[in-house]
Structure 1
């Protein structure tokens, strides 16, 4: 029996992130083993779209270019008249994300993007032009800056997601000294890099740059280092391990085993201190996705310092090469993180209503497979919570133990079973 047809309308083709988020999710939700999937794209060229990414992610499925949604709907209706099983896929990315996460948080995905043989051979020729050996170990890096969207007044609310490339310099120099080639991705609105060794390729400003740089070098990476943005979404589509820095906790993208993240820090001017992980996850702050919400709540979102990024890069590179010395300790802190995430997950399940948009009745990080950097936790002993007094409850409750100093919390916690 033939497979039912599925039509996925993707009319708002834009930057890499939109392409790499939507097409792979559609291909996982409607796998080739079960559906005859058609991706419907606009029939006009989108200037901001990376055609190389589209070509690679659409390879293996049918693609049709349509002039309007009406034309696409007509195609679906004709298919449905011939076979009532024909499916029109909801184009809403939030709805697809909910379905995707619910389905794949506890089972493997059916689709990962991959390079074809011609891509690999083209990549070898590109490496030759760059003076890069075929067997070079690569880390791709992308640091989100304001420049690309600065001219769009309606996008200024994204400012809390940006960071300074200078805070990555120590980490990049460390990787180069370890023998890696670093390919920095982005666009020409970013600050050019200077005075770096030859093993750093500043792709947007390189004379050999072409759109193929992005999918080829990301797919060829030992890991991706950087921010939540288009390139990181593409790394997730290829299944490349990611070290995500400066992560706002309202976002979650560490979806693959081996992914790691360090969050931005949240300083409350009302309380006069940093907020803990649990305080953020168990409050409306978790859904803040506009700069003014932080400002009105007197919360300052602080980007990662160079030492935090350097420590996390050391941890990531050590883990990938099976020489990270604190694995047992890290499993204890990871268990504590999952406890906090589970609490937030249950809270959201029982408090969010359908009028909450996007309606995510779950804690995404709890369902995803990545982890917080243990080195970040070691640098911030109080981040996973405060130690409260131990109380013996009865008719006459009494204090059995006073809270430990915040600085001692990490050491005390590591000596007890979670």
Structure 2
């Protein structure tokens, strides 16, 4: 919906009436309230990180933050997370599409009587969070409530997992998955081959971890001979809230560039972020390590180095939010391959050592990566198009997470 149409809708008395009705239960006299429209709240990649970002950015300034969302009852909504958020946020529901899209007006924070309306475009909202992180300002993570924590502990006990036993969550975005028909093209580059995670899973089991594979009901079964690998999408003991609980309490998450990774970040849990494509909005936590998909151009059998990727401005080739533009990659002859089984195994072993207070890995690769990222940010900071789009700040230039030293050692072409 274009800006002029949205402005016309906002000027209609009936639109303002609908907004007032949705917000009325969540407004309190004298309380400073910020309202943030979330048109894609039924996607976990928005419902998990954006409240965490909002609370980190604006929590100190406001008494209350209200999320304006599609109805909780929509079939794709992650209801356990929605209900958990309702403890700390106002959750105002509406089916009126123009109201949900109001942030596309990109007018900043607008005072509207008893509340402020956050009309900040998605890219610029994420940009503000990048700057917040770059300034090393405090983060406000999501928290489990006592009820969900107790239910999770009971469930773990019911499957025989002793309290305090370590466990890892595993998520792999599969070929053919799409949140909806419109989002299908955005996921093609981000799919991974589940087979490449098997050596890492084998090693985790040997090291004493239980591994919980997360996914949707249409996920391909992930079979493993050990009872310590639990394929939740196909386990009759699974309950709907478990991916929330397990992501919030795991030792770490082994994941890829897909919505569920945001759950671990929102709850402040470490991740091994694998199979990444470079984007300006890569918001890793300080405890994360990350590794990239090899990228090729044309018929070349040699992967593009990081310097070559930056020369093509790949971190700025985005669609909605921090999603790589599949069409642009295809049009310009780029193709991606999955991280290898050896890559994933080495990164998992690296994270295990980091959590166990083992020797710190050599930081030389990450230091070079950050220097190159800062040089790239210097270029896009003066780029008018990037600035207009809100894509002129590069997260990797600000030490968010750490490039996996093990992966960099296995893939010397990247920083060559």
TM-score of the alignment, normalized to the shorter chain, above 0.5:
yes
Change (3 A) 1:334 1:126: same
Alignment partner for residue 88 of structure 2, among 50, 56, 60?
60
Matched, 1:197 2:226: yes
Question: More deviation in 157-166 or 105-114?
Answer: 105-114
Change (3 A) 1:368 1:236: farther
> Residue in 2 aligned with 1:216?
245
Change (3 A) 1:266 1:58: same
Q: Does the Cα contact within 8 Å between 2:72 and 2:79 map onto a contact in 1? A: no
Matched, 1:365 2:396: yes
Query: Aligned to 1:274, what secondary structure does the other structure show?
Result: coil
Structure 1 residue 269 displacement after superposition: 3.2
In the TM superposition, what whole-angstrom CA distance separates every residue of 1:220-247 from its partner, at most 9, and x where no partner exists?
1111101121211011100101101100
Q: Does the Cα contact within 8 Å between 1:349 and 1:361 map onto a contact in 2? A: yes
Change (3 A) 1:81 1:275: closer
Counterparts of 2:88 and 2:72 in 1: how far apart (Å)?
22
Q: Which runs of 5+ in 2 are unaligned?
A: 1-28, 103-109, 318-323
Equivalent runs, 1:15-414 vs 2, <5 Å: 15-31=43-59, 34-43=62-71, 45-68=73-96, 83=114, 86-90=115-119, 92-149=121-178, 152=181, 155-250=184-279, 252-269=281-298, 272-288=301-317, 289-324=324-359, 327=361, 330-353=362-385, 357=389, 359-385=390-416
Bigger CA radius of gyration? 1
Q: Which runs of 5+ in 1 are unaligned?
A: 74-78, 386-418
Q: Does the Cα contact within 8 Å between 1:281 and 1:344 map onto a contact in 2? A: yes
Structure 1 residue 61 displacement after superposition: 2.6
Query: Aligned to 1:113, what secondary structure does the other structure show?
Result: coil
Counterparts of 2:271 and 2:66 in 1: how far apart (Å)?
30
Question: More deviation in 145-154 or 41-50?
Answer: 145-154
Structure 1 residue 162 displacement after superposition: 0.4
In the TM superposition, what whole-angstrom CA distance separates every residue of 1:44-96 from its partner, at most 9, and x where no partner exists?
511111111112233223333345368899xxxxx96755xx31012632221
Query: Aligned to 1:273, what secondary structure does the other structure show?
Result: coil
In the TM superposition, what whole-angstrom CA distance separates every residue of 1:281-337 from its partner, at most 9, and x where no partner exists?
23233333233333332322111010011011111111111114x63xx22222111
Question: More deviation in 370-379 or 145-154?
Answer: 145-154
Q: Does the Cα contact within 8 Å between 2:280 and 2:394 map onto a contact in 1? A: no
Q: Does the Cα contact within 8 Å between 1:254 and 1:369 map onto a contact in 2? A: yes
Structure 1 residue 102 displacement after superposition: 1.4
Query: Aligned to 1:46, what secondary structure does the other structure show?
Result: coil
Q: How many residues align?
A: 374
Across the aligned residues of Structure 1 and Structure 2, the Cα RMSD in angstroms comes to 2.6
Question: More deviation in 281-290 or 167-176?
Answer: 281-290
Query: Aligned to 2:260, what secondary structure does the other structure show?
Result: helix
Counterparts of 2:255 and 2:72 in 1: how far apart (Å)?
32
